[in-house]
Amino acid sequence: MTVDVAIIGLGYVGLPLAQEASKVGLKVLGFDVNTGVVDALNAGRSHVDDLSDADVADMVAAGFSATTDPSLIGDAKTVVICVPTPLSEDGGPDLGPVKAAVDTIAANLKPGMTVILESTTYPGTTDEVVRPVLEAGGLVAGTDFHLAFSPERIDPGNETFGAKNTPKVVGGHTPACGDAAAAFYGQFVDTVVRAKGTREAETAKLLENTYRHINIALVNEMSRFCHDLGIDLWDVINAAATKPFGFQAFYPGPGVGGHCIPIDPNYLSYNVRAKLGYPFRFVELAQEINATMPMYITQRAQDLLNDDGKSLRGSTVLLLGVTYKPNIADQRESPAVPLARHLLDKGATVQYHDPHVTNWTAAGDGVTRAEDLEAAVAAADLTVLVQNHREYDIDALAGKSQNFFDTRGKASDGEKVHRL
């Protein structure tokens, strides 16, 4: 075997992993079915927020190469699956990309290999979906090759925690499988945390994001009745957060987005219903609350315009920030999309501005980009802060606006400022 690790899927998870492995001198092969991605990486060009072109060029100089040729996977000591697992129409995970990756590995599996699944999924996937396909050729997991699950914990745009210093949870099909996976990650990850098995490691990832999902829903629901009662929820949260134990601050917003919070808890809920026949009520209630926030923001926008003697129909609403989190270009599951659609459905003229997004078509052709930010803010009947990018001077923009609806709690008090 001439390759230390083959990483299948070169997106926001696989590429940072490849970078850290390359930094310690491992021979890294990246595999992706997207020819454009592969060609760009081999030419030293990045397509993810967290790595620059210079970062990718350094990886290539260190020996990293990307390929669309699956036969090269057979040269690897370790193979890591980092493909996406979006939601399917029935609310469960779409395992199509995972199954395709596993089929590719199975066709090139060699004795002594270590195969690790990182893609987020429901408990039991490694053992029930991945293992049978890999063993179909006669090799046995735990005897002829190692099999493990290690959930990805990449937080795009996080400038403090990355692939190296975020603890890596590892659960093996057998203890020896766990040992092999832990030894692999231990070469370039600061802390490796051993889970009892693959199911425990799979469920740990879902628990992490379900915890966040439910607590975000809690403060989102509180934002509604605090507004009706004339209570400043942001001040409430700041006061509660001074307690040095027993409380962690979560903040309301226009909805949840990204690759984890809107999706991962549904895997767990789906699995509970499918296997046990009863609902995971906390998750389903949280999903209901968070999914209705864009409509609630639309209703608040309508009320604010009414207070100003205007109708939402025919008014211009400017959305600031359409990515799912600040300071990156990632738009996956952004709440800006349903918000824009609700506004359009009610007859508003919708514009957007985002320093990281030059072409936004997710909400349809009816949304145009504001090229001159200050002029657009001054002209709009209502400006809505959807995502707080560092490029925005919030108080200055609020001061230039006719009405400023702050869904992120970032603007200072002012006559024109209205908070979620």
Residues identified as active-site: 260
The residue length of the chain stands at 420
Phi/psi at 351 (nearest 5 deg)? -120, 160
Q: With b meaning 16 or more CB within 10 Å and e meaning fewer, what string describes 300-318?
A: bbbebbeeeebebeebbbb
Classified as helix, coil or strand, 368 is strand
Q: 50: which 2 tokens?
A: 């967290």
- Calpha distance 82→211 (Å, rounded): 23
Q: Show Cβ contacts of residue 375 under 8 Å, excluding neighbours closer than 6 positions.
A: none
For 238, 291, 347, 416, the CA distances from 17, given in Å and listed in that order, are 36, 32, 46, 46
| CA atoms 162, 6, 80, 191: torsion sign | negative
Residue 158 DSSP symbol? -
DSSP for residue 92? S
Q: Determine the residue type at 79.
A: V
Phi, psi (deg, nearest 5) at residue 29: -115, 130
CA triple 362-368-372, angle to 5 deg:
130
Calpha distance 183→66 (Å, rounded): 24
The DSSP output letter for 27 is -
Query: Can you name the residues that pair with 67 across neighbouring β-strands?
Result: 31
Give whole-number Cα distances, 128 to 91, 131, 133, 146, 278, in Å: 19, 6, 9, 15, 21
Query: What does the radius of gyration of the chain's CA atoms come to, in whole angstroms?
Result: 23
Amino acid identity of residue 42, one-letter, is: N
C-beta separation of 130 from 102 below 8 A: yes
Contact by Cβ (8 Å): 387, 326:
yes
Token pair in block for residue 139:
């090799």
DSSP string for residues in 371-420: SSHHHHHHH-SEEEE-S--TT--HHHHHHHSSSEEESSS-SPP-TTEEE-
